[in-house]
Amino acid sequence: MAAAAAFFCALLFISVQHGVLGGYTRNDFPADFVFGAATSAYQYEGAAAEDGRGASIWDTFTHAGKMKDKSTGDVASDGYHKYKGDVKLMTETGLEAYRFSISWSRLIPSGRGAVNQQGLKYYNNIIDELTKRGIQVHVMLYHLDLPQALEDEYAGWLSPRIVEDFTAYADVCFREFGDRVSHWTILAEPNVAALGGYDTGEFAPGRCSDPFGVTKCTVGNSSVEPYVAAHNMILTHAAVVRLYREKYQTLQKGIVGINVLSLWSYPLTDSTADLQAAQRYKDFTYGWILHPLVFGDYPQVMKKAIGSRLPSFSKVQTELVKGTLDFIGVNHYFSLYVSDLPLAKGVRDFIADRSVSCRASKTDPSSGQQAPTQSMGDPHGLQLMLQHLKESYGKASSNDSVDDTDRVDYIKGYIEGVLNATRNGVNARGYFAWSFVDMFELLSGYQTRYGLYRVDFDDAALPRRAKRSARWYRDFLKSKRQPLQIAQL
Ligand SMILES: *[C@@H]1O[C@H](CO)[C@@H](O)[C@H](O)[C@H]1NC(C)=O
Ligand SMILES: *[C@@H]1O[C@H](CO)[C@@H](O)[C@H](O)[C@H]1NC(C)=O
Ligand SMILES: *[C@@H]1O[C@H](CO)[C@@H](O)[C@H](O)[C@H]1NC(C)=O
């Protein structure tokens, strides 16, 4: 297929939620492959009520006591005040790129209308600081934190009105920051945003309906809303990419893409039913988003299973959304086993109303064997995932200790998986460790830590301290010729 062939040229950016081997060095990757780390606005910045920032749906969600540990991102890692020191740490770590997200409600407090000059200044300062230090700037426009004003006005992602407001916000970002930004990711994990926010209710805005919610929700409809929200996200993505391409790309020379949660799925057995179930799982989790953006429509299997609850693209919309990716960001944390289930009985993590009719679990229910694996990640799964994306379309371990040997192994393994995929012809172009510093985590507050740098949340000064993983990453990035086992461990 021509579209598929063209898609082979799409770049892949891999982001893993953290992180021994010998035998590879930084030099085994092409010079233009970048190694970075990432954060997101609500999880990192804090300063939630400072300098004119408007509330986002995450402020509302956390202040309603929705986190298990009752925490909020009011202070988080205090990146709003500490960004300068953090960029200095990035330089010391040898990061080649940094990806952060912009808080829409810090820049445009009510979601639409006047720009907050202090918000503008904050992002200009970070970008200048990175540029000055030669760190490539990757910006995520949206990481789950919709301005509360738009949620109140028209239920945010459930309304097509979001397309126009988001595009106007993106226009401000491109215009103000685009001269220094090389990579724009429009949306973070729209599949997770749709499911967490509208199916399970675990993420803001916390909507769901029985029996699908993981938490108790007062409003929502898990059978319908996840699909509506994702549909509006896809239309928004497309409109924003078209805006960038028409108005900015020639001049600014950046590239635009998306980022999706894409766990690898192994069929539990060799049976045809399980093989098909594993494929359905892929179609329902990331084909849901990627298939429209490449081919202009949802995967056939989704249309068939979901029927009229799945919104459809008009002819005009199909043309609009098709081909709106310069790169795909692949978020991979671990892999799953998938087995077939009769329709309606399917229960699983992460699939809207279980139309997928498969069971995905982290353990093999017959032997009790862990899927490879949640705590250590599955580097080989990432390699398979990357190869699968190339063919189809052209969280893991947290450690409280600064001595996070397990995460060192995780990151090492993932980088090896990426290297193998590259050697097998995948056009992977970057790797971002999640996260640069410990932050407020969306599922667990401050109870899990994924940073390369430890943040002491008990100390009001929120000091940073390099973990073993930060030192390993630094040694790797600075090892131009040495095999990795020489790096001090
Ligand atoms: C969800 O919406 C569908 C379609 O409108 C409706 O049939 C169903 O009853 C709704 N479910 C809930 C829990 O409101
Ligand atoms: C990478 O490839 C080597 C050689 O084929 C293999 O031994 C190793 O297990 C692979 N690593 C991953 C993470 O897939
Ligand atoms: C953190 O890593 C160390 C070293 O690998 C390990 O001994 C410890 O159990 C880990 N802690 C947690 C909470 O996973």
pLDDT along the chain (489 residues), means of 10: 29 47 77 93 98 98 94 97 98 96 98 98 98 97 98 98 98 98 96 92 93 86 94 98 97 94 83 88 90 94 90 97 90 78 49 59 54 56 70 58 85 88 87 91 85 93 94 86 36
Please tell me the distance from the alpha carbon of residue 447 to that of residue 465, in angstroms, as a whole number: 17
Query: What does the CA dihedral 78, 84, 86, 91 come to, rounded to 10 degrees?
Result: 170
Is 242 contained in some domain? Answer: yes
Taking alpha carbons only, the member of 35, 4, 3, 2 closest to residue 388 is: 4
Domain count, the chain: 1
CA–centroid distance, 327 to ligand 2, in Å, is 25
pLDDT at 30: 87
φ/ψ of residue 270, rounded to 5 = -85, 5
CA–centroid distance, 190 to ligand 2, in Å, is 31
Burial of 308 (0-12, 13-18, 19+ CB in 10 A): exposed
User: 213-247 pLDDT, tens per residue?
Assistant: 878 899 999 889 999 999 999 999 999 999 999 99
The DSSP letter of residue 53 is P
Taking alpha carbons only, the member of 61, 228, 58 closest to residue 159 is: 228
Residue with tokens 């202009």: 296
Q: Which DSSP helix (H) or strand (E) runs through 429?
A: strand 428-434
The phi-psi region of residue 369 (left if phi > 0; otherwise alpha if psi is between -120 and 50; otherwise beta) is beta
CB atoms within 10 A of CB 27: 11
Is 265 contained in some domain? Answer: yes
Q: Which amino acid is at 172?
A: V
φ/ψ of residue 202, rounded to 5 = -80, -20
Across the strands, what pairs with 359?
A: 339
Please tell me the distance from the alpha carbon of residue 319 to that of residue 273, in angstroms, as a whole number: 34
E runs forming strands in 252-388: 255-261, 264-267, 327-331, 335-340, 358-361
Q: Is the CB of 409 under 6 A from ligand 3?
A: no
The phi-psi region of residue 130 (left if phi > 0; otherwise alpha if psi is between -120 and 50; otherwise beta) is alpha
Please tell me the distance from the alpha carbon of residue 101 to that of residue 107, in angstroms, as a whole number: 12
Please tell me the distance from the alpha carbon of residue 433 to that of residue 333, in angstroms, as a whole number: 11
φ/ψ of residue 246, rounded to 5 = -80, -35
Domain of residue 316, CATH code: 3.20.20.80
pLDDT at 151: 98
Sign of the Cα pseudo-torsion (264, 446, 144, 67, in order): positive
Q: Which residue of 218, 219, 224 sits with most ligand 1 atoms within 8 Å of its CB, as the best mutation to test the pocket?
A: 224
Integer Rg of the chain from CA: 21
The SS3 of residue 37 is strand
CA–centroid distance, 55 to ligand 2, in Å, is 46
Which two structure tokens, joined as six digits, stand for 321?
């959304």
pLDDT at 348: 43
Domain range enclosing 457: 4-477
Q: Which amino acid is at 325?
A: L
Please tell me the distance from the alpha carbon of residue 236 to that of residue 256, in angstroms, as a whole number: 13
Please tell me the distance from the alpha carbon of residue 23 to that of residue 62, in angstroms, as a whole number: 45
Percent helix, percent strand, percent coil in the chain, to nearest 5? 45, 15, 40
CA nearest ligand 2 atom 1, residue: 420
Please tell me the distance from the alpha carbon of residue 333 to that of residue 254, in angstroms, as a whole number: 27
Which two structure tokens, joined as six digits, stand for 230?
């994702």
CA–centroid distance, 460 to ligand 3, in Å, is 25
Please tell me the distance from the alpha carbon of residue 189 to that of residue 201, in angstroms, as a whole number: 16
φ/ψ of residue 466, rounded to 5 = -65, 130
CA nearest ligand 3 atom 3, residue: 404
Taking alpha carbons only, the member of 258, 185, 239 closest to residue 7 is: 258
CA–centroid distance, 286 to ligand 1, in Å, is 24
Is 429 contained in some domain? Answer: yes
Is 488 contained in some domain? Answer: no
Is 31 contained in some domain? Answer: yes
Across the strands, what pairs with 433?
A: 16, 37
CA dist 38 → 30, 283, 451 (Å): 21, 27, 9
pLDDT at 341: 75
CA angle 314/231/104 to nearest 5° reads 125
Quick check: 462 and 77 in contact, CB under 8 A? yes
Is 23 contained in some domain? Answer: yes
CA dist 252 → 124, 168, 242, 244, 367 (Å): 16, 18, 14, 9, 54
CA–centroid distance, 1 to ligand 2, in Å, is 30
Who lines ligand 1 at CB under 6 A? Answer: 209, 221, 223-224
The DSSP letter of residue 363 is B
User: 17-75 pLDDT, tens per residue?
Assistant: 433 345 688 888 888 899 999 999 999 999 999 999 999 999 999 999 999 899 999 99
pLDDT at 397: 53
Is 79 contained in some domain? Answer: yes
E runs forming strands in 170-304: 183-188, 255-261, 264-267
Tally of helices (H runs) and strands (E runs) in the chain: 18, 13
Contacts of residue 392, defined as CB under 8 A and 6 or more positions apart, other chains included, come to 4, 282, 287, 290
pLDDT at 203: 93
Q: Is the CB of 265 under 6 A from ligand 3?
A: no
Is 489 contained in some domain? Answer: no
